[in-house]
Structure 1
């Protein structure tokens, strides 16, 4: 029952009058109508990204109000850029965000699976199955699906570089030019292995990605050190500083007048010059506190004015200004320098260190910092023919770095191409027969939803999804690693074809999709406040008509 402009009233009446307990303008939807509306919202979001699934998935063009264009088939990017209003649809978008945060890839699969689970739940509701029964069945299916995947997974050693590269290549395929996917996969593995520290891989803080439009994709490389897109402020300072002692100043370094209003009476021109000179002396004394620490490199997140640049130049201090906050954070972690917000309080203990700080070219905004004692940070320098292409490769790297990290930490992989989903689907159908009650129907529905992933992969590759699904069902009974090869249009061994995914990506997609489905199924009443325009003001009462004198 959907109502708008009506109110919920308490049972019974007092004196023949209904008793209202909520605002009459609140939109109220309840019962089957609420469930149906939420299911349709979930299906609509899944439909948005379904066509991007798989190596042959289509791209989406997103244009913002400024006319900036984003071309991508990355599910997380698509959903983040879209302005989705429906509350249930927003919950599905959260599935993609959770998947991205935990697994780094598989966002589209998670959303498609969530939409399929809600679609199957809608069919069960039409048959008279209670939402709580579906909820219980989905929970049982989720636990069993995770168990099936963990038993199905293949163990991987961290020294198995070939497998790591194939993992990265599987993630990159479809998101970047396929002819260069093998090279990009090698770069990805090189970067992740280079930052290993006590079995941990902090890719967010130790891997910096820089883009350079122009050149070939195969020129993309891993650089031992940190690149920042800045140059030294004065050409007379050394272009290369060895044994760098680095100060990170999170504050402007500029000669500024006092903010307080004051009046100073000067009796002559000489007094005026003397006053100005004294102000400059005080400013230089403040800079002397930085120089006294022994710093020979200064990076600031804010402005460094010309007076400060020239003074620091006379002491051979390499200076860069207006660094991004993320650059400052990375440099702090790599060099051990502390972010200083008050220049008068800086000490030698606040400085970081690096073997070399160098501006490699007089004509480019590139400064390279290398040789860290406290970190092993690296930079991936992406090169491609256009800015749109470098952006796509950056998004591909974001996923690929995370999947390599997942495999190194979990040491487990599963075959791709729909092979894992088919094994889970078949395992769930066998498991359902051991469950008494109507939950069995929900487990069967969960199995059907799992098969939507290989169906979407086949459909997006221009293949007949029904034929491919039937072939996959038949072959998976003979070979557990059987999946869809979208290039040959056949069902083949995915391990032999080097189409593999991290176990974490698959298990998290199932968990996220199941959890959001359970939350939606438990909602049978929606109260949504209506947006209202600002109340009209009588022109006679406009503030401009009042005499404020």
Structure 2
């Protein structure tokens, strides 16, 4: 026992010498080690997941060390505050005030699981939009303005064509305008009046920035008011065209039904 206690004390002494005041450990921490750490004013957090350890490493700029005796001052991470807070039956540890963190956590809370999942989806969409701006700083005017401009361009192109090619361009323009019509309907505006107004604006020389202001329920100039990342608009346009091309390329769809005997057995069961 004395030898074991000496080993534990040596490991704790190494942590103390490093100047650490908080220790995060993936595994459990011996009770004796916890007592020594506490006496030296060091907070110990145990059973931290590997993924969380890696995030802490990136956030605090510390270095994960497998042996406590290898811990030195230059391997320590830095944070201004480490605190514990309880949420109902769960306790969470917050590491705050990190200098230029390379990893952060966002805490989402909700009254039920379904709403929480919705929050998570919306947050991921928002972060994706921010990320796309970092990748490519270009943007387009939102509120359906960019879609109406694309549709207008397609219709002009269709006027120079004949037969099936003209029909394809016009159908593409119709499908794009249907997206704007959905936005208009969801905004609670009068669909026919709003769409007619929007088309007139886009036919004018200075109407390219006009779109749907869903909050005011008006058709107005949205330049520098509502924007969408260029990469996101490009991505959904390409995906939509590829999906439509795949569906058009399908010659026939064969629907397979269960044999009558199998259906009767299933119903009896």
Shift in CA distance, 487/336, structure 1 to aligned 2, threshold 3 Å: closer
Aligned to 1:485: 213
Aligned to 1:476: 202
Maintained 8 Å contact 1:425/1:451: yes
3-state SS in 1 of match to 2:77: strand
Aligned to 2:38: 313
1:498-525 Cα distance to aligned partner (Å, 9 max, x none)? 2322222211210122223334444557
Shift in CA distance, 306/412, structure 1 to aligned 2, threshold 3 Å: same
Aligned to 1:343: 67
Shift in CA distance, 362/344, structure 1 to aligned 2, threshold 3 Å: closer
3-state SS in 2 of match to 1:411: coil
Shift in CA distance, 483/369, structure 1 to aligned 2, threshold 3 Å: closer
- More helix by proportion, 1 or 2? 2
What stretches of structure 1 of length at least 5 have no aligned partner? 1-275, 531-549
Structure 2: distance between partners of 1:336 and 1:320: 18
| Equivalenced residues, count | 251
1:358-395 Cα distance to aligned partner (Å, 9 max, x none)? 438899855443242x647666677x8x5457776665
1:255-294 Cα distance to aligned partner (Å, 9 max, x none)? xxxxxxxxxxxxxxxxxxxxx4444444555555655655
1:116-145 Cα distance to aligned partner (Å, 9 max, x none)? xxxxxxxxxxxxxxxxxxxxxxxxxxxxxx
Aligned to 2:239: 512
Shift in CA distance, 477/324, structure 1 to aligned 2, threshold 3 Å: farther
3-state SS in 2 of match to 1:354: coil
Structure 2: distance between partners of 1:289 and 1:519: 64
Shift in CA distance, 523/317, structure 1 to aligned 2, threshold 3 Å: farther
In the TM superposition, 1:74-223 aligns within 5 A as none
Structure 1: distance between partners of 2:186 and 2:222: 18
Aligned to 1:50: none
CA-atom RMSD in angstroms = 4.1
3-state SS in 1 of match to 2:153: helix
1:402-453 Cα distance to aligned partner (Å, 9 max, x none)? 4344345533332222111111111112123445673443232221111121
Structure 2: distance between partners of 1:519 and 1:302: 51
Maintained 8 Å contact 2:158/2:166: yes
What stretches of structure 2 of length at least 5 have no aligned partner? 258-269
Structure 2: distance between partners of 1:344 and 1:378: 26
Aligned to 1:296: 21
Shift in CA distance, 322/453, structure 1 to aligned 2, threshold 3 Å: farther
Deviation at residue 396 of structure 1 after TM alignment: 4.2
Structure 1: distance between partners of 2:220 and 2:155: 23
In the TM superposition, 1:136-535 aligns within 5 A as 276-285=1-10, 290-291=15-16, 293-340=18-65, 342-343=66-67, 346-348=70-72, 351-354=75-78, 356-359=80-83, 365-372=92-99, 375=101, 387=111, 395-407=121-133, 409-434=135-160, 438-478=164-204, 479-495=207-223, 498-524=225-251
Deviation at residue 454 of structure 1 after TM alignment: 0.9
Shift in CA distance, 324/453, structure 1 to aligned 2, threshold 3 Å: farther
* Greater RCO, CA 8 A, separation 6+: 1
TM-score (structure 1 length as normaliser): 0.38
3-state SS in 1 of match to 2:96: strand
Shift in CA distance, 517/361, structure 1 to aligned 2, threshold 3 Å: closer
TM-score (structure 2 length as normaliser): 0.71
Structure 1: distance between partners of 2:104 and 2:123: 14
